[in-house]
Chains A and B, each alone.
Chain A
Amino acid sequence: MEHIAIIGNGIAGVTAARHIRKQSDYKITLISAETEHFFSRTALMYVYMGHMKWQHIKPYEDWFWDKNRIELKQGYVKTVDTDNKQLLFEDQSHLKYDKLIIACGSKPNKFGWPGQDLDGVSGMYSKQDLETIEHYAPNPEKCKRGVIVGGGLIGIELAEMLRSRDIPVTMLVREKSFWNGVLPDGESQMINKHILEHHIDLRLGVNLECINADENGKAKSVIVKETGEEIECDYVGLTAGVSPNIDFLKDSGIETGKGVKVNKYLETNIEDVYAIGDCAEQQEPTGNRPPVEAVWYTGRMMGEVVAQTVCGRKTAYKPGHWFNSAKFLDIEYQTYGWVFPKRHCEEYEKHFHWRHPEDNVCVTLSYHKDTRKFLGINTFGIRMRHEVFDKWLSEERDIDDVVKNLKQANFDPEFFKTYEKDIYKSYKNQLLVKA
């Protein structure tokens, strides 16, 4: 019986395992150094915040793996011997495979800051990171202040976590406005304001110079590069993005760049070795998608696809229209299609932006200025229907049509205040007149 080994029990690896099991009787081994069972990485923050316990963030009950004959192996893969098709573990044990799926995820970026490896410094990615945070920042008595380096999605989540325990937080953000490498200005500014509403000390346009240690080798303060200011703290979170966690593949012969290089079938340069999820680097990325996508659902989709290929039905990874979602403290964010901030915009991309005068609600729609083709939408504080936008993007609707029918896409709960009329009115005043 063929043996499929999967390195990594995150969403990508687990989805691959589940789909391979559905279609085959192969022996499946799911390998992780992090945890015994699959958990939702995106939910780690809620364990620290006390919304859930560890058991709640495991999407499958513990009997699931045995019942579906998915073997779980806890161990750290040190090297991959592709010639002999075997894995060598840190504890010197071996595992033979017939096909290997690499789904080992990411690690937090560190840019060589002095002090980045001190005690009391961590990313916010793994279960071990969570334990570090719990240890150094359990409450405001033990942690007088937490400093977070880097804006972005994980940074704001970490800020929310620490605030949930009343720990004062300073955020050092390189950009002039929060996440403005991704968000258009109006939206970014609304989030800036909301961060301040949550009593987070947001410092924009600054970088970390270094982290200072106390006599025990624990972080005690950070120095801000631009101002030289020293900020005392008991914990430092490094959240300046993530990158593929592929150091262990160095001498394996598997071709890597930023991540593990794969073709559109998720195959690496070595036969019977595949890579999926955060650690894969697409050599032919689809549309505007970046070569490395560290997103929950792309990990899941690659898992769905690679299972087909492994089970003999060779299938290319063809993600559909881009979509994503996040939550910035109390503000929900969804996006469908592409809305780029000004500095990344193609010349043809134009925006229509609407923001509610008081509520934390806004939308930005992007469109082609000549053809008026609808390109994408960002929404804050309004839930939208994925299915409808997927359809509209496929049908290449024009912007007028989309704004006019926006209500059809609304996914807010019953009785919620609706904004579509205001949006349409504002749109007519701004754009239809000129058209």
Chain B
Amino acid sequence: MTGRAADSLNAQQKIAAIIGMVGLLILGISAFNVQLQPQALWLTLSLIMIAGGVVWYAKASYAGTEPGIKNDGVFFKSISSRGFWAYLTGVGLTSFYIILYFYPEYLGLVKDGENTGIIALFDPLSKALSGNPASQWFVYGTLYTLVILAFGIKFIWKYRHSKYQLIRTISVMFFQTSFAFLIPEFMARLNGDKLNLPYYDLKNIWPLNYYNFDQYRIDAMISSGDIGIALLIFGLASIFIITPILTYFYGKRWYCSWVCGCGGLAETSGDSFRQLSDKSLFAWRVERWVIHSVLVFVTLMTTAVVYSYLKTDQYWLHGDTFLWAVGILLTLIFAGVMIFKRDQFKKDAKIGAVAYMVVILALLGLHAFQDVQLFLFDSYKLRSTYGFLIGSIFSGVIGTGFYPIFGNRVWCRFGCPMAAILGFQQRLFSKFRITTNGGQCISCGNCSTYCEMGIDVRAYAQKGENIVRSSCVGCGICSAVCPRGVLNLENDSLNGRINPKEILLGNDVDLMDYVNNSKN
């Protein structure tokens, strides 16, 4: 298939692209320490050009068209079908992440001195918000928010026929701008003699926020009085109370595609790459092992880190008590699930769960009774390895840098331990499912193709089976692209939520009963 090549940009799209590029170029020039004065003006100009370029491009692409699905030519365009521009973008993004995480000095970070380069360009904005000079993380946070806002507007334009998409996108834009960007900056401004709050994006929940219970943060919170304690309690409640309740009612989408920053970036700037996710059965197998291994890793790492400072006995909670509590909690979850939900696990999931449980308990036991170092490695070593491998390489360099190659949800699908926990809750204890509409499916494959999580939605839809998958983030695009109105995201009773069928609605009633029941 040759199709229409990527040359068909209209005049407005070209101008918009150039404006956006010039905006980026200003940042690029500043990286070489060219003094752009006044900084505030150049920064404003640059950010407005980047965002304006994206928004104008979106307008030029979608404004003159009828509302509806806009996937014409997706697989003909270089950028969205792993062509030259996709690889170039991938290399560019990957390099940016490597510099950001490992060589921030090239962005202009100066230890114990005035910032230079790009970071210096962001100083005025940072000072206006928090009172402090910018850091590489401030630069990243600002650009991240800008990208979500600009591409969010593009997304809304593209999917303007769907109110679900509209509201969901406004939600991620709001949470990114306020919770992730502005509130922590203002919190920093509050800090002073009495208050010593750590940088805290309130919606960034452990274990996604794997450093939330690090000693320096705990100390900072404890030393900040009631507000600090409240934040600490909120952090614990987020994962142990709020998360299970919301996931029970709405599925993990409440977080992954309505609130989360990683999800927000994937849904907005990554929307052009959702069709690149791998839908093979093999990929699904790999996904299950990798994501749950990351979850085990983060649990062990956090336990080790927390234990390392609790065992000094300077805190209200003692180290050994904490270890026992972790052991008991994990055992309870494991036993509960194995007793009540074991029939819902595939064989490899059972093997994996049992194996990991045995390993964790053995390690805890070794430490308790043989005085072997907890989890064999130094907690600091575990923490830095996790931060490097998972926190930087996986979620940043691969997760976002490879958007144009592997799709926009690689991190969310294969790596995010938060997604693993929410997915576990969604699969076993949630009212959420994607309902299949009787016998209307024509197996066209739009749903599977545009599923960013690589779920073979069609495999369920053509069997008339509801989609109940731990990885589903509830973005709703499968429902939007379905040309026959087959799929719908719903919250309903737990009974009959999972309903495998061999014969679909519309055929001989007796036959349906016979075949569907004889299988069970």
Q: Which residues of A contact B (CB under 8 A)?
A: 11, 19, 22, 40, 42-43, 46-54, 56-59, 61, 134, 138-139, 164-166, 197-198, 296-297, 300-301, 304-305, 308, 315-321, 323, 325-327, 329-330, 332, 334, 383-387, 390, 411-417
Contact = CB atoms under 8 A, between A and B. Distances in A.
Interface in B238-288: 275, 280-281
B444 A323 contact: no
A131 to B, nearest CB: 9
A59 B442 contact: no
Contact of A385 (B437, B481, B484): B437
A43 B443 contact: yes
Given A385-B438, A411-B437, A414-B164, A49 B502 contact: no
A387 B437 CA distance: 7
A164 B446 CA distance: 16
B167 A415 contact: yes
Contact of A390 (B76, B448, B505): B505
Given A165-B3, A416-B163, 5 more contacts: A50-B74, A50-B76, A52-B75, A297-B504, A385-B438
Interface of B: 1-4, 8, 66-69, 71-77, 161-164, 166-167, 275, 280-281, 435, 437-440, 442-446, 448-449, 458-459, 462, 476, 479-481, 483-485, 488-490, 502-509, 511, 515
A414 B166 CA distance: 11
B72 A51 contact: yes
Contacts of B75: 50-53
10 tightest A-B CB contacts, nearest first: A386-B438, A330-B68, A383-B485, A43-B444, A50-B73, A318-B508, A415-B163, A327-B483, A51-B71, A164-B72
A323 B440 contact: yes
A56 B445 contact: yes
Contacts of A56: 445, 448-449
Contact of A329 (B1, B68, B449): B68
A305 B506 CA distance: 12
A198 B68 CA distance: 12
Given A49-B72, A318-B507, A319-B507, A413 B164 contact: yes
14 contacts: A46-B446, A51-B446, A52-B445, A54-B1, A197-B66, A320-B509, A325-B440, A330-B68, A332-B483, A332-B485, A390-B505, A415-B167, A416-B163, A416-B164
Nearest to B438: A386
A30 B390 CA distance: 47
A411 B485 contact: yes
B442 A308 contact: no
Contact of A315 (B443, B458, B508, B509): B508
Given A50-B73, A415-B167, A305 B442 contact: no
A413 B71 contact: no
Given A50-B3, A386-B440, A413 B488 contact: yes
B508 A138 contact: no
A61 B162 contact: no
A317 B280 CA distance: 34
Nearest to B80: A50
A87 B432 CA distance: 51
A330 B67 contact: yes
A50 B71 contact: yes
A327 B483 CA distance: 6
A417 B163 contact: yes
Nearest to A42: B442
Contacts of B66: 197-198, 329-330
Contacts of B161: 330
Given A40-B444, A61-B280, A386 B511 contact: no
A330 B484 CA distance: 11
A387 B485 CA distance: 13
A371 B69 CA distance: 42
A15 B178 CA distance: 52
A297 B508 contact: no
Contact of B506 (A40, A198, A323): A323
A157 to B, nearest CB: 10
A200 B483 CA distance: 20
Nearest to B76: A50
B508 A305 contact: yes
B164 A51 contact: no
A58 B476 CA distance: 22
B442 A43 contact: yes
A330 to B, nearest CB: 3
Contacts of B479: 413
Contact of B445 (A22, A40, A332, A417): A40
